[in-house]
Copies of this chain bind each other. A is one copy, B any other.
């Protein structure tokens, strides 16, 4: 058996033998409620815990803060091939709590499922990366590897200080390739790998009327911001169709579009049909289907309303003219687009339409980032996926979601690939978030195999 296969064999049997140790580690991590949206002490505790675990394994570790929740930086090996592993230890709020079948911050083993907040997003992946490194521990020098783990604590709130941390540790972060945080196994047993993520421009627009809510007997006289808000929304987009903001589709990276087109033509439409029926939809917007639907999903910027509010929204009735109407809008730029420019265009457009008194709150703003399909790290990760899952992975040009990957792909110029222990039923961000034990084992093997393939070829 050749050297490469031997090391893989060893890594594979290592994780099977030591599985319970890593489930214990995951249990410890889940038990720290590191909800970046409101926790503070728990964030420090979680980062220190991870740092301690890695230090005991022989990593050089450091905890760095850019003014927000701290990030853990850890390094092992002295080889000439550097791999950067990005993850985050923060999690989404567990709400709605009453929809969980068990305590979200207590790992619950139900048959082959591990249930708890963060098991899929992203603590399970942190543990899988650590296990993968452990499984090739004795070969790190032989593989010529230097492995860096970068584990931030603000991903779920838009990574507000990540750019600062990246600037602070720019030299340290340099690498030849890297793993992004996430990857999911599909229903057909194939691993989904995204080559990148859309960006995010999450803004809240507020329109004000009177200085306080007023008894709606006075409605004939008092300006109600709802009517202006309704008009504003119809100017942005008409019933889920193309976005009306002039220049919204400008600056899209045409290389990205060309490459994406090739990738998309390889995809099947099964998951789209499943999504449609699961959500009780007769059809998607504009009757989109097949290739055209995939193009929209994976290569085009989007503008969505995530929330809309004004006045009394409780049960029953209350009669007021609301003083305020607000809308939460998430825009996802694609490669080439600058969210700041899009914001300026939106604002200018609305001002031209007479909306000169809008209050804007920018909750997060970062561009898209992606890795070309022919980068070595991607090719080696694809090979590893075929070896582990016995089926070729499904590659999408971008994830349907967003992530601050641009700091790594665009700024640091590190090609990144995806990998992860989640599956189609993982319910990330939702109650009863879970992973399957066998997917966890395969996730560890996939990372280990990718490292081996990357090093020895």
Complex Cα gap A62–B322 (Å): 41
Give A28 Cβ to nearest chain B Cβ, in Å: 28
Instruction: Please give me the residue from chain B that is nearest to A278 by CB atom.
Output: B211
| Contact status B319-A330, CB under 8 Å | yes
**A311 close to B305 (CB less than 8 A):** yes
Is A421 at the interface (CB under 8 A from chain B)? no
Q: Hey, what's the 0/1 contact readout for A306-342 against B, CB within 8 Å counting as 1? A: 1111111110111111100111101010000000000
Instruction: Give the distance in Å from the alpha carbon of A320 to the alpha carbon of B200 in the complex.
Output: 13
In the bound complex, what is the Cα–Cα distance between A217 and B299 (angstroms)?
A: 11
With A220-B300, A227-B237, A306-B317 in contact, do A280 and B211 touch (Cβ < 8 Å)? Answer: yes
Cα distance A438–B231 in the bound complex, in angstroms: 48
What residues of chain B lie closer than 8 Å to A237, measured between beta carbons? 227
In the bound assembly, the distance between CA atoms of A226 and B313 in angstroms comes to: 15
Across the interface, A307 reaches (CB within 8 A) one of B158, B217, B322, namely: B322
**Interface segment, one of A12-20, A396-404, A405-413, A444-452:** A396-404
Chain A residues bordering chain B, tally (CB within 8 A): 81
Shortest CB distance A170–B (Å): 28
Contacts A227-B239, A231-B239, A239-B231: A218 and B400 contacting too (C-beta < 8 A)? Answer: yes
Interface string of A278-293 (1 = CB under 8 A from B): 1111001100100001
Residue pair B279, A212 in contact (C-beta under 8 Å) = yes
Q: Report how far A109 CA is from B223 CA in the complex, Å.
A: 36
Interface residue A228 (Cβ < 8 Å from any Cβ of B): yes
Q: Is there an interface contact between B322 and A220, defined as CB atoms closer than 8 Å?
A: no
Enumerate chain B residues within 8 angstroms of A429, measured Cβ to Cβ: 215
Q: Is A157's beta carbon under 8 Å from chain B?
A: yes
Q: Is A230 an interface residue (CB 8 A)?
A: yes
Q: Are B285 and A221 in contact (CB under 8 A)?
A: yes
CB–CB B317/A284 < 8 A: no
Query: Looking at the complex, which one of B228, B231, B278, B319 makes contact with A202 (CB distance below 8 Å)?
Result: B319
CB distance B321 to A328 under 8 Å?
Answer: no
Listed in ascending order, the chain A residues whose CB lies under 8 Å from chain B are 37, 157-158, 198, 200, 202, 204, 209-212, 214-224, 226-234, 237-240, 272, 275, 278-281, 284-285, 288, 293, 296-297, 300, 302-314, 316-322, 325-328, 330, 332, 363-364, 399-402, 429
